Structure 1
């Protein structure tokens, strides 16, 4: 294990931030040329994109590229930074659909614009205005992800290979989000459904697709791409399961979201599905009664946490995280990856599955 965070190796995190800041400054000029009122849109996008985030997806893409023999350049850093705009789009829309008030300790985008409406004394409903703004800003972030990728300065042949991966990733995360909404609506409590939602909503686009994007940019052989998939799918699922645990048991000071938000939103995660599978009829009824209740108070959250923990679901989920991480690391060990990239990818796997926020 290196003393430097794997997210900081090659100065990557600051370079990604710089690429994003430069791109967003150019987009601000474009927006203001259309109308001065779009200054607030530029402010909100800069605050959201530059205001936090681990830059995990660009890191996996960059080191996937380097692992395939790709040479470092500012152009490749700009290209992988486009993943942060896909992430911004997903989070803005996710917060709206979940009615989350905060993100990273700040008002979520729909709340930011609702507050702006109220403070300005505008006509109509503040909530509807905020919701509309969030839909449009999320869409704009997705549009801009394309623009940043293709304006990165990389060779067109490299970008053409990467485009196939980029398009598949954005389709998967979008339909994965729909499956998540559908699962909450139908009340499906099966572990199988929870695993599928986790794979497509988060796991694939967090690790596997970024790795494959980097591999495509480097012109990696099919064998390495297959190894990256084996590593990335297992690790991505472990990452999502860690996210599920933090959504119920995480410290708000670390996660930036209120305690128990996933319970109030009624998320049918692997953790919750495992609890339903293990509880008796009375326990399932108690969990079902509280799950998805937006008025669930702190004692109610504690009751559901106790039910989940005592059912063995938390321990089962932790065991699953460990198993998946071991599978991912075994796939990485067997892959023909450049030495430095192998070390960093192993450290990234540790950071992804042991995080507290």
Structure 2
């Protein structure tokens, strides 16, 4: 059976399996190369391997792959390796995001810095275990970012496309840093507007999760500029939908769905689209109460439940869900207007459902 004849869902599952296999091989190589400098480096690699192998839908490498295939290029092993580099960079971003959020779990397992802090305690080392974990977590994330770069250098896009690909990849990395800084700065500045929340959704997550992986794949595959622009429009609205769904899950989902305790967005005072909508719609006294709850990192479960009730009664939950649906419909309309092979169009249509958790 040829790749072209495999049904879409089976093909998608097969692609994820190939990415997972390549990712496992990459982490084994990472272990060998890193351990050759000093055996202690294996502590960091082991923590990263556990986070990397704990799951994830591999959305970004899938988008990259189908962006590449949109150019009519044949499948080739080095493209899977490049897709793996996109996922490695994503895990690096998660490791540092967990440090900034002081998160305990990710994808249902201890975060990298918590694993390393536990290692310090188990070995009975001197000094503060938590500080050691944070310090080692920074280094672990940095090492993985470097490994992603090395993977790209060893598997450049074909036909002289390495330079535009690398330029766009570097732009993505800088934009992610801008988004992360905006995230912490918004919490400090107290900006609660929907305009700010949407800008954050695009910079911190949406573009980096959807638009840029698709664009990187298109650049690697030599896709024409009209299609690249169409992918950017498709990815922008779908990326916003992706973040909006995460905003909703972060408050109203389950720990199994998000891979970490629910309610942390409230305790951390995240200025999400859900919070922006609630503060704009709730009566002044109620909005003020929600701001009090958001400012409490030690907020009890009862406090989280109170915040959820304010968000629901204000109509914010329904409003954000409506905004999410609008963006999904817009993404589908944009996709329908692009000149793509049926295989690529169907794969991207299926990914819309996965990215936005929407039919």
Name the TM tier (shorter chain): over 0.9
Tell me how many residue pairs correspond in the alignment: 354
> How large is the Cα RMSD of the aligned pairs?
1.7
3-state SS of paired residue (1:157): coil
3-state SS of paired residue (1:72): coil
* 1:337 aligned onto 2:340: yes
Say whether the 8 Å CA contact 2:43–2:116 is kept in structure 1.
no
Instruction: State the Cα distance separating 1:43 from its structure 2 match.
Output: 0.9
Q: 2:30 aligns with which of 2, 27, 30?
A: 27
The aligned counterpart of 1:127 is 130
3-state SS of paired residue (1:34): coil
Q: Deviations over 1:137-156 (max 9, x none)?
A: 11112111111122126437
Q: 2:94 aligns with which of 62, 74, 91?
A: 91
Instruction: State the Cα distance separating 1:280 from its structure 2 match.
Output: 1.1
3-state SS of paired residue (2:260): coil
The aligned counterpart of 1:285 is 288
Alignment of 1:100-111 (within 5 A): 100-111=103-114
Larger mean Cα displacement after TM superposition, 316-325 or 136-145:
136-145
3-state SS of paired residue (2:125): coil
Alignment of 1:1-357 (within 5 A): 6=9, 9=12, 11-152=14-155, 154-155=157-158, 157-354=160-357
Say whether the 8 Å CA contact 1:80–1:149 is kept in structure 2.
no
Say whether the 8 Å CA contact 2:274–2:317 is kept in structure 1.
yes
Q: Distance in 2 between matches of 1:7 and 1:142?
A: 31
Q: Gaps (5+ residues) in structure 2? A: 1-5
Q: Distance in 1 between matches of 2:104 and 2:250?
A: 14
Larger mean Cα displacement after TM superposition, 134-143 or 218-227:
134-143
Q: Distance in 1 between matches of 2:30 and 2:10?
A: 26
Q: Distance in 2 between matches of 1:5 and 1:51?
A: 25
Say whether the 8 Å CA contact 1:208–1:233 is kept in structure 2.
yes
Q: Distance in 1 between matches of 2:133 and 2:10?
A: 33
Q: Gaps (5+ residues) in structure 1? A: none
Q: Distance in 2 between matches of 1:7 and 1:237?
A: 27
Q: Distance in 2 between matches of 1:114 and 1:24?
A: 21
Instruction: State the Cα distance separating 1:316 from its structure 2 match.
Output: 0.6
Q: Distance in 2 between matches of 1:292 and 1:118?
A: 31
